[in-house]
Chain A
Amino acid sequence: MQLSYEKSVPGRRAIALDPLDVPEAVLPAALCRKEPAALPELGELDVVRHFTRLSKLNFGIDSHFYPLGSCTMKYNPKLAEAVAALSGFAHLHPHLSTSPAFWKHCQGAFELIHETEQWLAEIAGMKDVTLQPIAGAHGELTGTLLMAAYHRDRGSKKDTILIPDSAHGTNPASAAIAGFKVLEIPSHEDGTLRLDSVKAAMNDSVAGIMMTCPNTHGLFEPAVAEIADLMHANDALVYYDGANLNAIMGIARPGDLGFDVMHYNLHKTFATPHGMGGPGSGPVGVGERLAPYLPGPRVVKGEDGFELRNLEKSIGRVAAFFGNFMMAVRAYAYMSHLGKDGLRQASENAVLNANYIFAQLKHVYEPAFDLPFMHECVFTAVPQAKKGVRALDIAKALLDRGFHAPTVYFPLTVKESLMIEPTETESRETMDEFCDAMLEIAEAVDSDPESLREAPKTMPVGRLDEVRAARQLNCAC
C-alpha cells in the first residue's frame, strides 16, 4: 500500500482553524525552524481511507482467534471502551492532583484509583498496590527498585537477582536496568524450578528472585513456597511476574504463596486492549516488607475525601502521575462486572480451554513437558523441524487458515516452541476450528511440506526479508 507521504498533494488540507482572533505574534527568526515539517498534505477523506485500509491489513481479536501464549489475548469488552471515553475521565488534567486546591475537583478519579488498588490487592493477596508503572516491564523495574530500596535501607549490599532461564526477557532486562547483577538459574528438564537449583545459587549477595507462576512453560511451580522460604531465611525477596495471573484468580494468590512484590498486567489478565503493542499498565503490588517504599504520591482516604500523600521512605515517582489511568478505568469496569465469581470463572475457563486444545493436539504435536498445563500449553516442533517444517512455518501456515499464530521461539528453553494460550473468552467451535487447522498442517508436514514453507500466500505480503531490512535500514521517509 502507498504511504501517506506518497499520496500527498501540495496545498491540500484536512483541518482548518478559525481565523486567528488576536493579533498575530511573531517569534524572532533565529528561534524558528527554516522549513515547516514536511507532513503529508491530504484531505480528510484521503486520511480516513488511508487508515481504514491500513487497519484492514491487521488481525485483531475482534476479527481473529489470537492464541499468543504469554500474551493473554482475551476479548476486550466494549463496556470498558465506553467508560474510558467518558469525558470526566478522558479530558481530566492530571495537574488537578498537584495542588491541594484542586483535589475536590478530581475526587471521582481518586476514588477510582483507590478502589482499583484495593481490588487488585485482594485478588493477589498483597497489602498495597500502586498504579504508577506503565507496563509490565515498568512494573518489574519498579519492583526491583523497591527491592533495592529495601536492602539499602537495611545497610545490605546484596546486588544479585536470580532469574530462571524460562523467564520472559523483560525480567533480566529490568533487573539489570535497576542496577542488579543477574544470575540465570536453569529449569529442571520437567519444566519447573527445583529448590536445589536455587539453593545452589544462593549466597549472601542474592537480593531476591524473580519468578513467574504458573511459569512460562504453563506449569505451576511445585517448589514455589519452599523457594520463597529459602529467600526469606536469607533476607532476600521474592518477585512475582504477574503475566500469568489469568491462570489462578480465585485459586491461589501470590501473596499467600510468599511473594513480596509483583506486577499485574492489566492488558492481559484484566482485558484492557493491547493496542498493537501498547499502552498497557503494570501496577505493582507489595506485601509488608516493601509497603513502606511504594512510589508516591499515593491516593489515600482523608477526612474530607481522597487526598495525596507521600510515604516517608517512598522511592519517589516512577510515572508523572498515576500511570496509565485509563487502563485502570477499563480494568475496574472489567473486575466490577465479573466480580468474585466471574473472576474465578475466568481463570477456570482459561485453564479448561488450554487443556481442551492440548487434548486435541497432544497426539500429533510433541508436548514440551509431561506435567499438567494450566492456562497455556507448550509444544515443541522439533519432530516437524526434522522433516523440514519449522515452528515458524507452522505459524505462517496458520495465518493462511485465518488464525493468528501461537507464540513461537519463546520461551527460549524449548526448541521450536509453539506456545498456545486460548483464554477463557473463546468458544468451543473456534478452538475446534483451530485444532482442525493444526492437525491439517501436521498432515501437510508429510504430504506437502513445501506449501508450508511458502506460507503465507493469502496475506497482503509474503515473508519479508528481515536481513535486508536491517542492512539497508530504511526506517523513515
Chain B
Amino acid sequence: MTWVPSTAAERDAMLSVIGVQTIDDLFASVPAELRAKSWALPAGISEMAVRARLEKWAARNAGGVTSFLGGGAYDHFIPAAVDALTSRSEFYTAYTPYQPECSQGTLQSIYEYQSAICRLTGLDYANASLYDGGTAVFEATTMAVRLTRRTRIVCHASLNPIYRSMLETHVANLDLELVDGESPEGAACVIVQNPGFLGDIEDFTALAERCHEEGALLVMSFYPISLGLLKTPGEIGVDIAIAEGQCLGVPLNFGGPWLGIMATRKEHVRKMPGRIAAATEDAQGRRGFVLTLQAREQHIRREKAMSNICSNEALCALRALVYLTLLGKEGLRDVARHCHSKAEYLKKRLSFAQILNHGPTFNEFAVRLPRNAEEAADALVSRGFLAGLPLASLGAGEPNDLLIAVTERRTREELDAFAHALEEVCN
C-alpha cells in the first residue's frame, strides 16, 4: 500500500548515488534511544476497502432528510458548476501563491473574490479569507484592539453563542475584558450579528453612530445570503464586517472546511489580518496580481504580526467566488427573496406554536413549541425532517424553543408537510 513510485532497484541506485548502504543509514542522526517506542497501527488496506469502510460510515449519518437546521450553517443549493470548477487540480493541488508568475489563476481569483465581498458588503477592502465565522470574531476583536488601543470588548446579545464561547477561549490569556451589552463607552468594539442568532433583523445604524462618537468600532457578523436584500454593513456604518461564508457554495461538511470572511474600511486596511491580493503590472505593462501588504503577516513580522494566520481557506473562497459569479447580480437577490418569502410562509403555518421574534426576520426564526423541542426534533427525524435546532442545547432558549431555518431549497409542499408533521408531534 503506497503512493511511493520508487522500486527497490531504484532505491538501491539512489542510495549508491548518495553513498550509503541502506535507508537506515540516512537516519543516523536519530539516536537509538530516541527511536519510536511503539508503532501499533493497523496494516494498510486497499483503496477498495478504504472506500467500503468510509461509505459505511457515511451511510450511518442522516441522509435524505429535509432540513430546517440552521444556526450559523445553511442548506443552500450548490450549482453543479461550483464543484466542477473548484475540483480542477490546478486549483486544489496548488500552494499559496508565493511565486506569482505561476499562480496568476489563484491570485486573480482572490482579487475577484475580494471584489465580490466588497460589492456585497459595501466596504472598501476584503482579505483573501480567514478560517471560519467564529475565528473571524476573534480576529476582528484583536484588530479592533490594535486600532483603538482599548481592551474592553462588548458582545451584543445577537451574537451566535458558539462564536461568543470561541471568543472567550481565544482571549483567555489576554488582558481583555469581555462584557455583554451594547454600550460602546470606553470599548474597543461592540460585536453584533445581523440577522441575530435567533433570526431578528436589526438596524444597527444608530449603534454605529454611537460607537463612532465614543471612539469604538462596530464589528458586525453578517449572513452573506441575506445581503441579497438587507442593508449592507457599509450602509450601516460597520467598521469591520465578518461572516461565515459557508452559505456561498460551500457544503455543510459537518462543520468544516468553511470560510471566514472579513471586510473593512479603507482607513483600517493596514491592521487587517490575512492575505490580500492586489493588481499591479510587469515590466512590459501587463496586468498581474500579487500578494500585498505582507509586512502585516507572520512570515515577515513574526511575533508582531497582525495575526498568526498562514494557511487560510482559499479553496472555499474560490467556491464562494464561483457561486457568486454564477448567481450574479439578480441571482443573489432571487435566492435571498426565496429564502425570506418561504420562511414567512412557514411562520404563518405554525399557528400552534408561539413565534418568539417580535420584529422582522430573514430566513430563520425561533418558536416555542407546546412540547419539548428535543423530543419533537427526535420524533421528526423518522418522518424525514430535521426540524431545527433545539435552543436549550446551546443554552440559548427554553426547553421548548426551536430555531427553524428555511432556504430556497424548500418547496411549498415540503413546508406544508413539515408544518403538519410538527403540529402532529406536538399534539
Residues B34 and A225 in contact, CB atoms below 8 Å apart: yes
Q: Flag whether A155 is at the interface (Cβ < 8 A).
A: no
Q: Which of B302-336 contact A (CB under 8 A)?
A: 302-305, 307-316, 318, 322, 324-335
Q: Tell me the complex Cα distance, A5–B115, Å.
A: 9
With a 10 A CB-CB cut-off, give which of A27, A277, A336, A372 has the most chain B CB atoms. A277
Partner of B42 from A79, A141, A295, A339 at Cβ < 8 Å = A339
Q: From residue B268, how far is it (CB to closest CB) to chain A in Å?
A: 13
A261, chain B: closest CB distance, angstroms:
15
Residue of B4, B235, B292 touching A473 (CB-CB under 8 A): B292
For residues 242 through 286 of chain A, which have their beta carbon under 8 Å from a beta carbon of chain B?
248, 250-253, 256-257, 267, 271, 273-280
Count the A residues whose beta carbon is within 8 Å of the partner chain — how many? 205
Bound complex: CA A105 to CA B381 (Å): 9
Q: Which residue of chain A is the closest to B409 with respect to CB atoms?
A: A17
Given A13-B328, A23-B345, CB of A316 within 8 Å of CB of B166: yes
B390 within 8 A of A: yes
B87:A33 contact, CB within 8 angstroms: no
Q: How far is the CA of A476 from the CA of B41 in the complex (A)?
A: 49
How many A-B contacts are there with CB distance less than 8 Å?
A: 696
Of B26, B106, B386, which is within 8 A of A351 by CB? B26
A-contacting residues, B4-56, CB 8 Å:
4-6, 10-11, 13-15, 17-20, 23, 26-31, 33-47, 50-51, 53-56
Asked if A278 contacts B278 (CB within 8 A), the reply is: no
Which A residues are in CB contact (< 8 Å) with B10? 428
Query: Could you mark each residue 99-136 of chain B with 1 if its beta carbon is under 8 Å from any beta carbon of chain A, else 0?
Result: 11111111011011011111110101110110111110
Interface: A452 (CB within 8 A): no
Interchain CA distance A375-B308 in the complex, whole Å: 25
Contact of A27 among B17, B229, B309 (CB under 8 A): B229
Instruction: Identify which of B67, B256, B389 contacts A326 (C-beta below 8 A).
Output: B256
Residue in chain A with minimal CB distance to B394: A98
Give complex CA distance A196, B383 in Å: 68
Which residues of A lie under 8 Å from residue B5 when comparing CB positions? 425-427
Q: Which of A35-43, A231-239, A383-391, A439-447 contacts B (4 or more CB under 8 A)?
A: A35-43
Which residues of A have CB within 8 Å of B40?
122
Which chain B residue shows the least CB distance to A86?
A: B58
Give the docked Cα–Cα distance between A152 and B170 (Å): 15
Interface size on B, residues (CB 8 A): 205
* Other-chain residue from B124, B275, B342, B415 in contact with A277 (beta carbon distance below 8 A): B275
Q: Point out the residue from A56, A98, A463, A468 that lies within 8 Å of B105, measured CB to CB.
A: A56
- Given A134-B131, A317-B165, A256-B54 contact (CB < 8 Å): no
A11 to B297, alpha carbons, bound, how many Å?
Answer: 41
User: Could you say which residues of chain B place their CB within 8 Å of the CB of A323?
Assistant: 255-256
B118 → chain A closest CB, angstroms: 4
B415 lies within 8 A of A22 (CB): yes
Complex Cα gap A90–B284 (Å): 45
Tell me how far the C-beta of B199 lies from the nearest C-beta in chain A, rounded to whole angstroms: 13
B231 an interface residue at 8 Å Cβ cutoff? yes
Tell me if A460 counts as interface (CB < 8 A to partner B): yes
**Interchain CB contact under 8 A, A15 and B327:** yes
In the complex, which residues of chain B have a beta carbon less than 8 angstroms from the beta carbon of A134? 131-132, 135, 256-257
Q: With A177-B307, A352-B11 given, is the CB distance from A76 to B93 under 8 Å? A: yes
Give the CA-CA distance A38 to B327 in the complex, in Å.
11
Interchain residue pairs A-B with the least CB separation, the first 5:
A339-B44, A321-B255, A88-B58, A275-B315, A108-B60
Question: Cβ of A83 and Cβ of B332 under 8 Å apart?
Answer: no
Contact A39 B327 (CB under 8 A): yes
B35 to chain A, nearest CB (A): 6
Q: Known contacts A33-B230, A279-B257; decide if A62 and B115 are in contact (CB<8 Å).
A: no
Beta-carbon contact of B132 and A55 below 8 Å: no
Q: Tell me if A176 counts as interface (CB < 8 A to partner B).
A: yes
* Interface check A459, CB cutoff 8 A: yes
